[in-house]
A and B are shown apart, each in its own frame.
Chain A
Amino acid sequence: MKSKKVANFRISLVMILIILSLFSIHIGIEEFSLIGLFNNEEKQVDLFLLSRFPRLLSVIITGVSLSIAGLIMQTISANKFVSPTTAGTLDWARLGILLSFFIVGAATSFIRVIFSFGIAMLGTGIFMIILTKTKFRNSAIVPLIGLMLGNVVTSITTFIAYRFDLIQNMSSWLMGSFTLVTKGNYELLYLGIPFMILAIIYASKFTIASMGQEISTGLGLNHKLIMIIGLIIVAIITAIVVVTVGTIPFVGLIVPNIVSLYRGDNVKSTIIETGLIGAILLLIGDIISRVLIFPYQISISVVMSVMGSLIFLFIMFRKKSRVQ
């Protein structure tokens, strides 16, 4: 019975996603109709394949990526406030991109991903080591320190960029945006998919790791290895998203929290829903960003920081028993 309920829930999430997707591909200056697409009208097919479909797909993949990254981070750190935004992972990833400009010059996206992955991994790793070594008495202090650390990293990035006239170049990855996504420049996002599958495979191990080093070692788990695998998945997914579409705040923070309100903390049973809700949320954000000042568009980061902070405040005040 229970599994049937879960299946129904997942099916309804998929339905919502499909409806939103259909809506999403119709937004834009150029008229688009599905009938034209099925009748194989050349103009409609081109529009679909070159612009509307890549945009839709990149939004969905980004939404899934960021929310799964957030879920893994919250699980292995056993703290509901940790996410790529609040641990500074996004800021480290940007510093990595800046460094790639210096060391390689005109680097390809793939090389940028590698640099940004390396630095993000390093920075997030340091943060996680601090977290595990110091016992903070309050769970709300962790994101505060992480956010401040992130600000520091960003100010270093800005300083370097300012000195070498890269500010304008940098603003393109300071702000997340799907406006420039067309066929040929978003495919890098696919690279994250194998890592998300890896996350699903390791899901139950992450849950065990969240019980702490002693318990998980007692249950026969290589705690350190699982932590490192988790960090690698998070860092690489974040790096790919930052390089392809830019920084998008709050998705990784709020989506796992929404899911855990209703479904608890067993990663194996929540990871699918987390991904689906992440995609739905980001798609709603993307639709808002395209409709609000039509025919112009607002950056998705702006929409998400307004939407996300409101949702997060709502969650914080609802589950006050957890956060004190």
Chain B
Amino acid sequence: MTKIFKTNLSKIVTLIAVSIILTVLFLFIGVKESNIGFFLPRRVTKLVAFLLISFTTAYSATSFQTITNNNILTPSVMGLDSLYLFIQTVIVFFFGSKTLTMMTGTSNYFISIGIMILSSLGLFSLLFKKKGRTVYFLLLTGMIFGSFFSGLSTFMQVLLDPNEFTLLQGKMFASFSSINSSLLLISIIIVVVISLALIGDFRKLDVLSLGKDQAINLGINYKKIVLKNLIIIAIFTSVSTALVGPVAFLSIIITSLSRHLFQTYKHGVRVVGAALISFVFLIVAVLLVERIFNFSTTPSVIINLIGGIYFIYLILKEGKK
């Protein structure tokens, strides 16, 4: 027990060390005395955003997999990404792109997050309204709603003026290069406040990973903890989607790497581990794009490609069991 704890601790320390090295590398590559004032603040903003996204993705994906009792699903199947794109499309469609550019500030952010949280609440209430419905039923419903929304968005995009469409397109792909620092501050506040509310939840999630029936037997309020976590997942996914756009496959890589690396049921360790892995991964992806590919591709393309191939590998492994 203590041995596992020690090796896990040393793994986390190693990951932290790697993150620090990469952070320094990321901050100071190509920095000269003349341009330090320009580069440094921007890079620090990016790094903070990466940290935030890493944590939200790690927490939501890990707890999501525990709730669904499945190792290959991620929150992206709930269709929140498509809902986000739909909201952006609706804003451009009804109010014009001027509104969207003016709203890049806080109001668009709050509207998007608010609608996304409300609709996930509506979706979750379906799950608990009738007896005998499982989480998978909910996910399938979410996914179908997702394709409904993306169908509607495509329809509206077809009707849009090409100039307006170009502006919208900027919102459609995850953008790591232009992170709005005032939004970042709000997001940090939201995430920190919520995180305070879930400090005690890690142990409940540990019990929940035994399965629904056992957890209820051991005195866990299943309904409450599942609903609470689903809401938090919705908020976290909305925050990171609104901040950098949709990154679907990041969560698959980090959760399963963290599960393999830290052979433990403890969610505290696994979430921290996944967050660190995600942070390392994001920096490496951005460095690759900026230094090696010379911006010929985007970080999200790399993340989705690697994550996607890893996902196929996971499925094939699942098939061999």
**Which residues of A pack against B, CB within 8 Å?**
81, 126, 129-130, 133-134, 138, 140-141, 143-145, 147-149, 151-153, 155-156, 159, 162-163, 249-250, 293, 298-299, 301-306, 308-310, 312-313, 316, 320, 323-324
Give, as a whole number of angstroms, the nearest-CB distance from B130 to chain A: 7
Residues of A within 8 A of B27 (CB): none
Residues of B within 8 A of A153 (CB): 308
Partner pick for B145 among A81, A134, A309, CB 8 A cutoff = A309
Show 23 residue pairs from A and B whose CB-CB distance is below 8 angstroms, ordered by the A residue. Answer: A81-B140, A130-B315, A140-B139, A143-B140, A144-B77, A145-B73, A147-B77, A149-B311, A151-B308, A152-B249, A155-B305, A156-B305, A159-B305, A250-B147, A293-B159, A299-B158, A301-B154, A305-B150, A309-B147, A309-B151, A313-B148, A320-B137, A323-B140
Closest 9 CB pairs of A and B: A305-B151, A152-B308, A130-B319, A309-B148, A140-B136, A306-B151, A140-B140, A138-B136, A309-B144
Is the beta-carbon distance between A316 and B304 smaller than 8 angstroms?
no
Residues of A within 8 A of B308 (CB): 151-153, 155-156
Give, as a whole number of angstroms, the nearest-CB distance from A268 to chain B: 29
Is the beta-carbon distance between B318 and A134 smaller than 8 angstroms?
yes
> In the bound complex, what is the Cα–Cα distance between A249 and B143 (angstroms)?
13
Is the beta-carbon distance between A313 and B141 smaller than 8 angstroms?
yes
Question: What interface size band does chain B fall in?
Answer: 35 or more
Residues of B within 8 A of A303 (CB): 151, 155
The reply to whether the CB of B132 lies closer than 8 angstroms to some CB of chain A is: yes
Among B77, B136, B143, B321, find the residue whose CB has the most chain A CB atoms closer than 10 A. Answer: B136
Among B72, B73, B315, B316, find the residue whose CB has the most chain A CB atoms closer than 10 A. Answer: B315
Give, as a whole number of angstroms, the nearest-CB distance from B65 to chain A: 13
Is the beta-carbon distance between A249 and B154 smaller than 8 angstroms?
no
Residues of B within 8 A of A312 (CB): 144
Give, as a whole number of angstroms, the nearest-CB distance from B28 to chain A: 31
Give, as a whole number of angstroms, the nearest-CB distance from B240 to chain A: 18
* Contacts A130-B318, A147-B143, A155-B305; A298 near B136 (Cβ below 8 A): no
Give, as a whole number of angstroms, the nearest-CB distance from B319 to chain A: 4
Is the beta-carbon distance between A324 and B137 smaller than 8 angstroms?
yes
Is the beta-carbon distance between A298 and B140 smaller than 8 angstroms?
no
* Contacts A148-B311, A151-B248, A309-B144; A302 near B133 (Cβ below 8 A): no
Least CB separation from A127: chain B residue: B315
Partner pick for A141 among B70, B145, B155, B309, CB 8 A cutoff = B70
Those of B90-137 within 8 Å (CB) of chain A: 130, 132-134, 136-137
The reply to whether the CB of B297 lies closer than 8 angstroms to some CB of chain A is: yes
Among B139, B151, B155, find the residue whose CB has the most chain A CB atoms closer than 10 A. Answer: B151
> In the bound complex, what is the Cα–Cα distance between A153 and B304 (angstroms)?
11
The reply to whether the CB of B261 lies closer than 8 angstroms to some CB of chain A is: no
* Contacts A143-B140, A313-B145; A138 near B315 (Cβ below 8 A): no
> In the bound complex, what is the Cα–Cα distance between A130 and B316 (angstroms)?
7
Is the beta-carbon distance between A316 and B319 smaller than 8 angstroms?
no
Is the beta-carbon distance between B143 and A144 smaller than 8 angstroms?
yes
Residues of B within 8 A of A141 (CB): 70, 73, 136
Least CB separation from A147: chain B residue: B143
Is the beta-carbon distance between B140 and A148 smaller than 8 angstroms?
no
Least CB separation from B150: chain A residue: A305
State the majority secondary structure of interface residues on B: helix
Partner pick for A149 among B148, B151, B312, CB 8 A cutoff = B312
Is the beta-carbon distance between B319 and A129 smaller than 8 angstroms?
yes
Is the beta-carbon distance between B155 and A302 smaller than 8 angstroms?
yes
Give, as a whole number of angstroms, the nearest-CB distance from A284 to chain B: 16
Residues of A within 8 A of B145 (CB): 309, 313
Least CB separation from B248: chain A residue: A151
Give, as a whole number of angstroms, the nearest-CB distance from A136 to chain B: 9
Give, as a whole number of angstroms, the nearest-CB distance from A288 to chain B: 11
The reply to whether the CB of B301 lies closer than 8 angstroms to some CB of chain A is: yes
* Contacts A130-B316, A151-B248, A152-B309; A316 near B144 (Cβ below 8 A): yes
Give, as a whole number of angstroms, the nearest-CB distance from B218 to chain A: 21
Residues of A within 8 A of B151 (CB): 301-306, 309
> In the bound complex, what is the Cα–Cα distance between A310 and B147 (angstroms)?
10
> In the bound complex, what is the Cα–Cα distance between A85 and B36 (angstroms)?
51
Residues of B within 8 A of A162 (CB): 297, 301
> In the bound complex, what is the Cα–Cα distance between A250 and B155 (angstroms)?
17
> In the bound complex, what is the Cα–Cα distance between A138 and B297 (angstroms)?
39
> In the bound complex, what is the Cα–Cα distance between A152 and B305 (angstroms)?
8
Known: A301-B151, A308-B147. 9 other contacts (CB 8 A): A140-B136, A141-B73, A145-B72, A152-B309, A152-B311, A298-B155, A299-B154, A310-B148, A324-B137
Residues of A within 8 A of B321 (CB): 133-134
Residues of A within 8 A of B318 (CB): 130, 134
Is the beta-carbon distance between A145 and B315 smaller than 8 angstroms?
yes
Partner pick for B315 among A149, A310, A320, A323, CB 8 A cutoff = A149
* Contacts A144-B77, A151-B248; A323 near B137 (Cβ below 8 A): yes
Give, as a whole number of angstroms, the nearest-CB distance from B312 to chain A: 6
Give, as a whole number of angstroms, the nearest-CB distance from A133 to chain B: 5
Is the beta-carbon distance between B77 and A138 smaller than 8 angstroms?
no
Residues of B within 8 A of A249 (CB): 147
Give, as a whole number of angstroms, the nearest-CB distance from B161 to chain A: 14
Residues of B within 8 A of A250 (CB): 147
Give, as a whole number of angstroms, the nearest-CB distance from A166 to chain B: 15
Is the beta-carbon distance between B312 and A306 smaller than 8 angstroms?
no
The reply to whether the CB of B6 lies closer than 8 angstroms to some CB of chain A is: no
* Contacts A306-B151, A324-B133; A133 near B77 (Cβ below 8 A): no
The reply to whether the CB of B3 lies closer than 8 angstroms to some CB of chain A is: no
Least CB separation from A249: chain B residue: B147
Residues of A within 8 A of B249 (CB): 152, 155
